[in-house]
C-alpha cells in the first residue's frame, strides 16, 4: 500500500481517485482536513476497503510513526501543504508550520520507518515530495522556461516555505540516504479545485453574477496543466524516477491571466448563457495587484519526457472545457465548500468589494 498525505485536497483527491480507478493497491490518506481538505472529494470511495482516510497532521510524529509501523507502506507521497499564495501573504505562520516544520517531522518519521525495514523493502521504498514551480521565482518575458537546474528564488511566503521543504527533502536524501523524489509542477486546474484559486473562482463568481477580480493588469503569465496530467506524472515518477532527482512537470500552456478569464467566460457564454444575453466577460473587474506578484512562470518539462516518456494528455482547450463542465454539473459541491470560512476569506481578501 501507499501513504498519501493531503489526499482530501484538490490534487491529492484527484490523485487518490485516479490511483484506485487504475489499480487495487490500497491507499491510506492522512489529511488534517483544513478548510482546503474536503471528505466530499472522496465520497465516491465510501465503503471501498482500499481507501482509509485518517484525519491528522503530517507534523504529528507519534501519529505518523504509528501509521507507518502499522500499515507498512511501500511509498509515502506528500501532497499536504498550505497552498494559497494570497493566504500566505495575509498569514504566513500556518505555511511555515505545515510546509516547513510539518515536512521536517514527516521526513523524520519516514526516516525512522525506513531504517527499520529489511534491506529488500528498504531498496524499494520511495518518498515522493510534491512541490511547485514557484520555488524558482519569476521569469522575464522571453526568458527560457524553468529547468531543474534553475536556481531557487522564491518570492512569496508560500513559495519560500515550499522551497524550504524541497531543501529538507534533498538534504534527507544526501545526508541520510532517504530514497526521495521531488516533482515541481506548474499551475493545475480541474475538478475539486477550491474556489479561492483563479479558475474556479472565476467560474463560481461568474455564475453567481459577481465581479471577476483580475489582479493588476491581468498580464501575469502562468503555465496551466490539467490536474489529471499532474497525477499521471507523479505516478510515472514514483514508478521510474531516479532517486534524489527532481522532475519539472508542466503543460506547455503559458497564458496571461486575462486570457484565461476570457476563455472561461467564453465557455460559460456557450454552455450556460446569461439570461440577459450579455457575455460573462462584462463582469471582469481589474483590482489591486497581489503584493510581490510573480510576473511569469513557465516549466520546461523535457527531462520528464526524455527520461520517463511522460507527456500531458490534455491540451488547455480540452482540459478547460472539462473543468467548466464539471463545475456546471456539481453546484452542490460548490455550494457546500462556500462555508463560513470561505465567506470570511472572500470578505477579508477582496475587502470593500472589487472595482471595475
Binding site for ligand NAD (CB under 6 A): 5-6, 8-12, 30-34, 36-37, 57-59, 79-83, 98, 102, 130, 132, 162, 185, 187-188, 194
Q: Which is nearer to ligand NAD, 67 or 80 (CB)?
A: 80
Candidates 126-134, 242-250, 301-309, 324-332; binding stretch for ligand DAU (CB under 6 A): 126-134
Helix (H, G, I), strand (E, B) or coil at 185: strand
How many residues are there in the chain? Answer: 356
Q: Are strands 254-256 and 221-226 parallel, antiparallel or unpaired?
A: antiparallel
Measured CA to CA, the distance from residue 96 to residue 92 in angstroms comes to 7
Site residues for ligand DAU, 170-199, by CB under 6 A, read 186-187, 197-198
The answer for residues whose C-beta is within 8 angstroms of residue 120's C-beta and 6 or more apart is: none
Q: Please identify which of the residues 31, 57, 136, 158 carries the catalytic annotation.
A: 158
Cβ-based neighbour number of residue 79 at 10 Å: 26
Q: Which of 213, 241, 251, 312 binds ligand DAU (CB under 6 A)?
A: 213
* Beta-ladder partners of 342: none
Measured CA to CA, the distance from residue 144 to residue 187 in angstroms comes to 18
Q: Which is nearer to ligand DAU, 66 or 170 (CB)?
A: 170
Site residues for ligand DAU, 54-113, by CB under 6 A, read 83-85
Q: Is 316 in the site for ligand DAU (CB under 6 A)?
A: no
The answer for residues whose C-beta is within 8 angstroms of residue 93's C-beta and 6 or more apart is: none
Q: Is 51 in the site for ligand DAU (CB under 6 A)?
A: no
CB 244 → ligand NAD: shortest distance, Å? 19
Q: Is 220 in the site for ligand DAU (CB under 6 A)?
A: yes
Alpha-carbon torsion, ordered 93, 163, 184, 78, to 10 deg: -50
Assess contact for 42 and 28: CB atoms under 8 A: no
| 113 is an active site residue | no
| 158 is an active site residue | yes
Q: Please identify which of the residues 57, 134, 223, 229 carries the catalytic annotation.
A: 134
| 134 is an active site residue | yes
End-to-end Cα separation, the chain, in angstroms = 51
CB 199 → ligand DAU: shortest distance, Å? 7
Exposure letters 324-356 (e unless 16+ CB within 10 A, then b): bebbeeeeebbeebeeeeeeebbeeebeeebee
Number of amino acids touching ligand DAU (CB under 6 A): 19
Measured CA to CA, the distance from residue 190 to residue 333 in angstroms comes to 14
Eight-state DSSP code of residue 140: P
Q: Which is nearer to ligand NAD, 255 or 272 (CB)?
A: 255
Q: Is 296 in the site for ligand DAU (CB under 6 A)?
A: no
* Nine cell digits for residue 85: 499564495
CB 131 → ligand DAU: shortest distance, Å? 8
Eight-state DSSP code of residue 214: E
Q: Is 155 in the site for ligand DAU (CB under 6 A)?
A: no
CB 215 → ligand DAU: shortest distance, Å? 4
* Nine cell digits for residue 170: 534533498
Q: Which of 31, 133, 166, 254 binds ligand DAU (CB under 6 A)?
A: 133
From the list ligand NAD, ligand DAU, none, partner contacted by residue 215 (C-beta under 5 to 8 A by kind): ligand DAU
The site for ligand DAU (CB under 6 A) is made up of 83-85, 132-134, 186-187, 197-198, 201, 213-215, 220, 222, 257, 290, 297
Residues with a catalytic annotation lie at 133-134, 158
Amino acid at each position: 500500500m501507499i501513504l498519501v498525505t493531503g489526499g482530501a485536497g484538490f490534487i491529492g483527491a484527484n490523485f487518490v481517485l485516479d490511483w484506485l480507478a487504475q489499480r487495487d493497491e490500497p491507499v491510506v490518506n492522512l489529511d488534517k482536513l483544513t478548510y482546503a481538505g474536503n471528505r466530499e472529494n472522496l465520497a465516491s470511495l465510501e465503503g471501498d476497503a482500499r481507501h482509509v482516510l485518517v484525519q491528522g497532521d503530517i507534523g504529528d510524529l507519534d501519529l505518523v510513526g504509528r501509521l507507518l509501523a502499522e500499515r507498512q507502506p511501500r511509498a509515502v507521497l506528500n501532497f499536504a501543504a498550505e497552498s494559497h499564495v494570497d493566504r500566505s501573504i495575509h498569514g504566513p505562520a500556518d505555511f511555515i508550520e505545515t510546509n516547513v516544520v510539518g515536512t521536517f517531522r514527516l521526513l523524520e518519521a519516514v526516516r525512522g520507518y525506513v531504517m527499520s525495514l529489511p534491506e529488500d523493502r528498504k531498496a524499494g521504498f520511495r518518498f515522493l515530495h510534491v512541490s511547485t514551480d514557484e520555488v524558482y521565482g519569476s521569469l522575464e518575458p522571453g526568458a527560457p522556461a524553468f529547468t531543474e537546474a534553475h536556481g531557487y528564488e522564491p518570492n512569496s511566503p508560500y513559495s519560500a516555505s515550499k522551497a524550504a521543504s524541497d531543501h529538507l527533502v534533498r538534504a534527507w536524501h544526501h545526508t541520510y540516504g532517504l530514497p526521495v523524489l521531488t516533482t515541481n509542477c506548474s499551475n493545475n486546474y480541474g475538478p475539486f479545485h477550491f474556489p479561492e484559486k483563479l479558475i474556479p473562482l472565476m467560474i463560481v463568481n461568474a455564475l453567481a453574477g459577481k465581479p471577476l477580480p483580475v489582479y493588476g493588469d491581468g498580464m501575469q503569465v502562468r503555465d496551466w496543466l490539467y490536474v489529471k496530467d499532474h497525477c499521471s506524472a507523479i505516478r510515472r515518477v514514483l514508478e521510474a524516477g531516479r532517486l534524489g532527482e527532481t522532475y519539472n512537470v508542466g503543460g506547455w500552456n503559458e497564458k496571461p491571466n486575462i486570457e484565461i478569464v476570457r476563455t472561461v467566460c467564453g465557455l460559460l457564454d456557450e454552455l450556460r448563457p446569461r439570461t440577459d444575453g450579455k457575455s460573462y466577460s462584462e463582469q471582469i473587474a481589474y483590482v489591486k495587484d497581489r503584493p510581490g506578484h510573480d510576473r511569469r512562470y513557465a516549466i520546461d518539462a523535457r527531462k520528464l519526457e526524455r527520461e520517463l516518456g511522460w507527456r500531458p494528455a490534455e491540451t488547455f482547450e480540452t482540459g478547460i472545457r472539462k473543468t467548466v463542465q464539471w463545475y456546471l454539473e456539481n453546484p452542490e459541491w460548490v455550494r457546500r465548500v462556500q462555508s463560513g470560512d470561505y465567506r470570511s476569506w472572500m470578505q477579508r481578501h477582496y475587502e470593500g468589494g472589487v472595482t471595475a
